[in-house]
Structure 1
Amino acid sequence: KAAQRAAVEAEQQANYERKQAIIAKLVEMSADADNVNRVFSEVRDLQAQFKEIGEVPQQYSSEIWKNYQDAVEKFYDQLKINKELRDYDFKKNLADKEALVAEAEKLQAEEDVIVAFKKLQELHDQWRAIGPVPKDVREEIWGKFKELSTSINKRYQDFFVERKAKERENEEAKIAICERVEALDFSSLGTYAAWDNMTKEFMEAQADWKKLGFASRKANAELFARFRSICDKFFAAKAEFFKQMKDVLASNLERKIALCERAEALKDSTDWRATADELSRMQKEWKTIGAVAKKYSDQVWHRFLAACDYFFEQKKKNTSGTRRNERANLEQKQEIIERLKALDADAPEREVAIKTLKDLQSEWQSVGHVPFAEKDAIYDAYRTVVNRIYSKWDNARRGSRMESFESTLSEIGGDTNRLYRERERLLRVYEQRRGELNTYENNMGFLSARSKNADSMLRDMQRRMQRLKDDLAELEIKIKAIDSKL
């Protein structure tokens, strides 16, 4: 009997270990969420094996059965989730592909066939990136997309066939123009009239060339080089002829006319120092230029002199009191800063303080320029005290708004419709503020610590985010106050 009992106990222990192994396998399979569908039949086999295994030691009986049930339930729960996720993916993928079909339909109306073709390629890339759809509509949705793609591709192919024919036509026309100008002989021209007449022929050829579209890329480049070469030869020869015919007087006249035009362009400038230096430099250059033909000499000199005199007269009128005025403006702005500091220290009633601050800011804006070396420092001092005053009043302003809101609620009383309208208005403001806060939070990640102004920008964004958070908290309090009355 002892031997039989030992044999039974050994068998029960072996059964316990086999069942433990099956449970472990089930747990492992349920944890592999990506493969629960594939191993479903194997799980069914493990369940059958578990049931076929005999008894286990009495002290483990309840435990082994509970662990088995938990493992099986966990697997089937995961199987259900996987199926639901797959169905959801199918549905979402179908919606995405239907949207791509709609985009492809819109491309039928796109006049630019190249743009339509490129956008179609992007749609195909997106299509390939989208997963499968339900099997019963798979062929149908692909058929629609494929049919639209075929139509767009055909338009694209037809476009290039037509363009190739047009390019060949343009190529033949450009060859004819090249041959036309190459036949012109300008080697023996000896008069201005002859060069002018030949110039008209080249200009007409260039105008005809510009009217033509492109030839094929290779032919177009070769033909343009050929056409440009003969044009360059002609205009170089023309330039050489005129150079030989002109004397130094004409050259000097051109340089002095150029100085006149430059002086006339500068005479209305208010950049007094830089313009005065430039005109002085030009006057020195004028003295280095030789004489011009007598019939132009007085005319061109008076033209240049008039432009220079006009500028220096305006400069004299406008700069006599500038430095004195800038120093007075600096003192006035320093006085405004001191008054702002006094306002910050005295902390008068909010309404009085706001009006005073606005008046001082308006007065600051009305003051003119200060000396250039002082402008950054005086502005920084002004900005610092203004920011400090506004910061101090933020909390006071919030308290005042809450008092005003509570007063508004008292006036509304039990009017439910007005309460609901007020609540909807506050919710719209709340969503707007929350959207602004999300935008700032997203933009925080784009600030580079290595950026020159990163620290300043970061602090500014953090201040604005905190202000938005305070506004959101205040809006929540107001909405809860309305809810308590509804």
Structure 2
Amino acid sequence: MLEETNDNLPQADGNYDRETAPSVQTDPADDSVVNNVVAVGEDGDVLKKKSAQDAIDDSNAEESEDETLKERHTLPMKDYGTFSLEQLVDALKELVVTDTVMSIKEHVDEIKKAFTVEFNHLIEEKKEEFNAENTDSNEEFEYHSPLKSKFDEAYSVYKTKLNAHFKSLQTNLKGNLEDRLAIVEELKNLINPQENIKDTLKHFNELRERWKNAGPIPKDKYNHVWNNFHFHVENFYDYLHLDREARDLDFKHNLDQKQKIIARVEELTQEADVNKAFRELQDLHRMWKEDIGPVSKDHRDEIWNQFSELTKKIHDKREVLFENLKELEVENLIKKKEVIVKLDQLAIEKVNTHSQWLAQIDKVEALRSDFFAIGKVPTEVNEATWAGFKSAVRKFNSLKNSFYKEIKKDQTDNLNKKMALVEKAKALRESTDYSSSTPVMKKIQDEWKQIGHVPRKYSDKIWKEFKEACNHYFDNLKEHKSEENSEEVESFDKKKAYLETLRSFEMTGDHKIDLDAIKMHIENWKQLGKVPFSRRHIEGKFNKILDALFEKLSLSKKETDMLRFTNRIDSLSENNDTRKLDNEKIFLMRKIDEVQNEIFQLENNIQFFTNTKNAKKENSIVLEVRKNIAIHKEGLAVLKDKLHQLRELDQ
């Protein structure tokens, strides 16, 4: 195929030689005379100096190659860097169901980038946790994430669609390019003075219609092929002896259409959404270039200058927008650096307890969320900023892991202690000696609570074993108590009936006979057995009756006191109330100390009075003191007898 070049174009003063390849000044839409502006890439970076028209032509060439790209503007870009892994997977799955695969390419690329960053961070954390908990160098780190599998599955669907799309597109582009070059070649050879003008016009219109329906071509060929076509269309209009009336009518129609486009572009200069205005401007340039033919030379420069000036206004506004985005990215960079500084500070701040480390970890997670929520930074510092963030997090994790490595030895010791308690609990789980085993089991449970953390991979297992052993023992104890309760209820009923018998007991007046009878009642009462805990009030009623009987006996105070004490201690002993027995023992020991101290003080007082010159006059006082000493010594003897009785009970 012959590709038309501009080598044979004459000067732009309109002079031409029909014997040479004809040429005219082309539509300024192909010129690069529009004021240069800065073209900005998708990420906001300055790429190179470009004219407004060049920027639009490049974008239109790309979208002309693949029309599905036009739909990307209908999908607003989201800040995927702030999404969680779950949200990124859901967003990808939602996008890949569309058939217009190229329209979502930029979104998928951003999602993949965000997912890779987030997932790599997760892997680093899991690996550091693994290294902290496992000292066995032979055990390799492995981590499987269902989210990663879901992401890979959705991304694979996207890649399959993308590859199929590219394969189909490349095949079509090549064929369409050949068709368009053939149309240009036919158009170039259309000038034939020997042919009937009506037939020529008919052929010309057929070529234009074929051009419209020829389909997309490679974007790197788009502007060159279109310029060739446009050149020969203008050449056909301006330099052949055509039907002037038909030509002028077509010129007028084209002028009217282009003026409408200019009017719309003027409205777009007031549009608040600059990106929206620029996208519509691209479409208007495409219509100007592809759908509308040339206008007369009298209006050609003027109308193009109007169009290009308005184009520059919108393009300048877009440039300002990108500059503002660059400023925002610089502000984001400052904020992210502040986050990194805070992370660096946490990475050197040592704490000494697990709870404090949990608080530090929460702070790091909050800063990490802040970092990702801040937004983009200038591309040229993006890698360095990310590296600084990862370094700060890594240093924090290293400090954290060193702490947990230090306490791992303690956790191993705790594990050994708890395993020993598990063995004790298992040894007692089948015991039926409940009176001795129950306190031991309770002590084991208390000791378990006092022991600290164990390595996480063992905690559930040993807790399950310990819990099962304890539950088994106490379930047996509960069942045993249920059996005992029926006997205790029966004992209560017997004691209740015995109280009625005891209330009718009459004293004979013979001290020995009455004392023996009371002792017999006490012994009978003991033989009736224990009563339920909730009904132990019956013991108090029995003691009141005994107190009344003791009052009627001519017993000494000591004998009465000892009988009552013995009866009460026996009752506590029968009910296995070790707590009250221990309390009684402690009370007696304290009371003995108090009485001994009191006796010592009184004896010192006597020495004071007997050593004075007026000791005879103070004799009544001395006698009173001696009397008190005797009373205290008598009470002390009773207390000692009681304590002796309790100690014999222990033995």
TM range (shorter): 0.3 to 0.5
CA radius of gyration, larger in: 2
TM-score by length of 2: 0.31
Higher helix proportion, which one? 1
